[in-house]
Amino acid sequence: MKIYTNDDVSPDSLKGERIAIIGYGSQGRAHAQNLRDSGADVIVGVRKGGSGYDKATHDGLQTAEIKDAIADATIIAILTPDMSHAEIYKDIIEPFAPKGAALLFAHGFSVLYGRVVPRADMDVILVAPKGPGDLVRREYQRGRGVPSLFAVDRDVTGTAARKALGYARGIGGTVGGVIETTFREETETDLFGEQAVLCGGTTELVLMGFETLVEAGYRPEIAYFEVLHELKLIVDLLYEGGFAKMHSFVSETCKYGDLVSGPRIINSETRERMREVLKDIQDATFAREWILENQAGRPRYNSLMNTDLNHPIEKVGKDLRGRMSWLQNKANVDA
């Protein structure tokens, strides 16, 4: 497997390119600042007077309405939320983008599921950092980088890969290492990871653990510490050194419990449910449901979110975290 680093990508890869960053949320803000600091010609496309406009202006970036920002752009990076892509592309980018411009995404959802069908003259590329925008920015400022993925879905100009890798280098990705993928692979694995493990799987495991202990008569505060608070400690060890480092830092009793009880909780039935989740992603069932949910005003989404945020673990956690001084000075991260 080829991992692209600074040695593989010329620092002049973006020479002569004008990059329009559409949106100034978590990823947009990080990409725009990192590219600017890497010497790239960057303009941010945002609604004048909106929060993104205010932040971009405060950060010293050139800003304009989207139509004006893309007027002479050679790379147009759509970094707004997925459900906004279709309208932004159809109403502004498709009719006004220069011929031969590259359309860049940080997630392949809109292209894979046909929400955006780029004009025939446009390159279509993807650069996806494997971390939130705040981390992408912080690591860049430290002279490091977040590993990233890149993909070329369409190469009309013959320069699509150069642009994608140059962009990846500009945001710091080639310091962390960049791996080539496809729009399908990036999208399907990303959605699966979020749903089955990183967010959906983890939060449900935490809630069930909390409820099991509380139902058995244990105090909610103790349950919170055991199933949520300490989770970060374990995840940090896994992140830093895999199973080996985690096992080296926990007790022998913990290790034995891990080995014999883990498979009782996460078992063949869990794997079958994971396969069902993956199938719904692969055959676009999930995408269709999410698109229709948005078109209907997100009634199910809002109901489920309300249930999540009003679970007893949230009240207990808020009270306990309020006593943790080391958490109080952390700056909020843009969504």
Going by the annotation, the residues of the binding site for NADP(+) are 24-27, 47, 133
Tell me the chain's radius of gyration from C-alpha atoms: 22
311 carries an active-site annotation: no
Instruction: Reduce the DSSP state of residue 309 to 3 states and report it.
Output: helix
Contacts of 333 (CB under 8 A, 6+ apart): 26, 132, 133, 134
The two tokens of residue 263 are 């498979």
Cβ atoms of 127 and 164 within 8 Å: the answer is yes
Locus of tokens 């069930």: 208
Amino acid present at 257: G
CA–CA distances in Å: residue 104 to residues 28, 66, 167? 12, 15, 9
Return contacts of 55-58, CB within 8 angstroms, 24+ apart.
Answer: 55/24, 55/29, 56/24, 56/29, 56/32
Q: Report the binding-site residues.
A: 24-27, 47, 133, 190, 194, 226, 230, 251
User: What is the per-residue DSSP string for 147-193?
Assistant: -EEEEEEE-SSS-HHHHHHHHHHHTTHHHH-EEE--HHHHHHHHHHI
Catalytic residue among 58, 85, 107, 247: 107
CB atoms inside a 10 Å sphere around CB 333:
10
Cβ atoms of 25 and 133 within 8 Å: the answer is yes
Cα dihedral across residues 221, 224, 225, 227: positive or negative: positive
Show the DSSP H helices in the chain as ranges. Answer: 26-37, 51-58, 66-69, 85-88, 94-96, 109-112, 133-141, 160-170, 173-176, 183-192, 200-215, 220-224, 231-249, 252-265, 268-282, 285-295, 299-309, 312-321, 325-328
Locus of tokens 């490091």: 144
Which residues are the active-site residues? Answer: 107
